[in-house]
Amino acid sequence: MQHIITLSKIIDYLYNELHERKDYIEHIKRLKEEGGDQYAEAVKIIYEGFFIFAMIWSFGGPLTDSKISFNGQLRGMAGRVKFPDGGLVYDYFFDVLKGGWSLWSEKVPSFNGDLLGAELFSNLVVPSAETTRQKFLSEINRRWKKGIVYVGFAGTGKTTIIKDYFAQADKELCVCSSMSMNSFTDSKALQQVIEGNVDKRTGKFYGPPTGKTLMFFMDDLNMPKLDKYGTQSPICLIRQIIDYELVFDRDHLEEKKFIQDIMFLGCMNPKSGSFVIDLRLTRHFTMIALGLPEKEILNTIYGQIFAHHLKSFDNTFNKYEQKVVNATASIFNSIALSAQFMPTARKFHY
């Protein structure tokens, strides 16, 4: 059911966008003017493209090792809207104006090199195909106030994707807050943080400023320790808020506080904390599995940084940009994958 709900939310978002965006409205209008059969066929292609795109991220989003087989099956299912050769189906989005698939890499904004001096290097976020498509999915979930959880090992960019989205989110539509969980986090600590981010509206109702959505990010969602009953109290509290939109006053348990206009986002590392999260909670979320960045994405990230650095040099150095990036990556991989530096039971962190 979780996947079906995600599928329907994505389709609803794309359908609404089709009738709200000015360029889409004008495109549909031109198709109507061209003729009946051609218009009907074009609309069928658009709707099929929406459905397949929703399939990619509702059923294929949580996959890890099965992404290759899922890619093959979905390519075989595509009727009117065939995927281009090369890459996986995750690399494409349906372009209404084109009537076909386009690469996410074509929508990646250019890197703002001015940030190199203004920000710490560790805080820099270089736009890539991954960050671009995840921002789009986060925006879909914000529209419907449906939570989203990223699952992946350390270094896959889970937290960075969320924080980058928060940095560029429309402050007129949402209020962003975050909390890092650990093994000592309990439901009381979580409730205090949530209540600190909402205001009293009327009576027993609380929430962010009217017209806005509180986007509450929980890093390391699976870290709270299990109690003797095998449950995690913070996880139960989140589920309670999503299901019933309420919490109980800790000093007067007979009193209820209704929390409105809040959505949760989270990140989990399957190699740390609890390996299983209550299904009664995860059914409310869109689950996305992230893998380590591919070679093309790494080249995009470091290539843009190095290209900006070379602007202060003579133009003859530009031809060495990609060569230096590739050579650096090759040296790093040869060291990281050598037997001398492989993780062991005693030194498992590198």
Instruction: List, for residues 26-68, the tens digit of each pLDDT value.
Output: 999 998 888 778 888 999 999 999 999 999 999 999 998 899 9
Do 299 and 325 contact (CB within 8 A), yes or no?
yes
* Closest among 292, 243, 295, 290 to 264, alpha carbons compared: 243
CB 237 within 8 A of CB 185: no
Instruction: List, in order, residues 6 or more apart from 262 with CB less than 8 Å away.
Output: 145, 194, 198, 207, 208, 213, 214, 216, 241
DSSP reduced 3-state for 156: coil
Q: What is the mean pLDDT of the chain?
A: 89
What's the whole-number mean pLDDT along residues 127-132? Answer: 90
Q: What is the pLDDT of residues 63-119, one digit of tens each?
A: 988 999 999 999 998 888 999 998 999 999 999 999 999 999 999 888 877 777 666
**Token couple for 75:** 């390519």
| Whole-number pLDDT of residue 348 | 56
User: CA-to-CA distance for 267 and 288, rounded, in angstroms?
Assistant: 10
Q: Mind listing the pLDDT tens digit for each residue in 271-305? A: 877 767 888 898 999 999 998 888 888 888 888 88
CATH of domain 129-289: 3.40.50.300
Write down the domain spans for the chain.
2-96, 129-289, 293-341
**Strand 213-219 relative to strand 205-207, pairing:** unpaired
